């Protein structure tokens, strides 16, 4: 069985192939709102050809989206090129966990996917940190309940904001400078962004543990997580493909 998974994010979209439940490969595309289904298909078609997969081999298209304007685009893509309706992940689907907040519809599909995959694999109290357009923290209790989370500005978003709002501040590479005290503007911004992110993450983890009075496993996912992990005081588990694994997990629970 071959599934096509789509993680549609605010900045980038990831397309993944699952063969008999195993994520075999992914590609990353820009989530440009002006793109049509035909333009997305141009890249997806090349991806499938590289993997020697035909459109008729795809059993279903499973979509996690936090960009409502692209939902219809991917639905049309699914119908036009795969002749499938497309399976969209929402809080109303069978998740295998409870969503213990007053307005569950406010939880992004990406965060639900990470929560479901994390709980399925570890069955314990979890803090899941996802580095994307936003840096998000999601809390799952070992009883099988999503309890809420925290949303902070992502590194790339903050970097872009500083550059665009302050005329003399350049956009910098998201790398750790050798010293925390910068000797030039670029290093000073890098220090504020990178060490600031580390301090924010460690501090929020400490506050979650104190408020909930529980021990947690901490999972890190998302593009920039690998750069941050070595500088954290807390021990974490790196799971770069957690969201995609959740896409597959939720689809299977609903068959």
Which residues carry out catalysis?
A: 110
Which runs of consecutive H residues, i.e. helices, occur in 78-108? none
Angle between helix 155-165 and helix 185-212 axes, rounded to 10 deg: 140
**248 with 3: CB under 8 angstroms?**
yes
Which runs of consecutive H residues, i.e. helices, occur in the chain? 37-50, 68-77, 109-122, 155-165, 185-212, 225-228, 242-253
**133 with 11: CB under 8 angstroms?**
yes
Query: From CA 86, how far away is CA 18, in angstroms rounded?
Result: 15
């Amino acid at each position: 069985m071959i599934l096509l998974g789509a993680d549609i994010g605010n900045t980038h979209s990831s397309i993944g192939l699952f063969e008999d439940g195993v994520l075999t490969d992914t590609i990353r595309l820009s989530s440009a709102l002006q793109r049509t289904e035909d333009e997305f298909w141009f890249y997806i078609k090349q991806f499938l050809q590289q993997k020697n997969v035909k459109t008729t081999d795809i059993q279903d298209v499973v979509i996690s989206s936090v960009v409502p304007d692209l939902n219809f685009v991917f639905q049309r893509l699914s119908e036009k090129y795969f002749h499938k309706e497309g399976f969209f992940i929402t809080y109303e689907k069978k998740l295998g966990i409870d969503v213990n907040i007053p307005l569950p519809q406010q939880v992004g599909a990406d965060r639900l996917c990470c929560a479901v995959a994390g709980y399925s694999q570890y069955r314990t109290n979890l803090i899941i940190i996802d580095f994307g357009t936003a840096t998000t923290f999601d809390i799952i209790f070992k009883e099988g309940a999503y309890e809420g989370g925290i949303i902070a500005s992502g590194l790339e978003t903050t970097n872009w904001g500083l550059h665009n709002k302050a005329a003399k501040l350049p956009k910098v590479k998201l790398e750790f400078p050798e010293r925390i005290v910068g000797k030039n503007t670029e290093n000073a911004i890098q220090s504020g962004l990178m060490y600031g992110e580390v301090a924010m993450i460690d501090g929020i983890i400490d506050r979650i543990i104190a408020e909930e009075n529980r021990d947690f496993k901490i999972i890190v996912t998302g593009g920039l997580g690998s750069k941050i992990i070595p500088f954290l005081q807390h021990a974490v588990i790196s799971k770069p493909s957690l969201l995609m694994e959740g896409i597959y997990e939720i689809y299977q629970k609903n068959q």
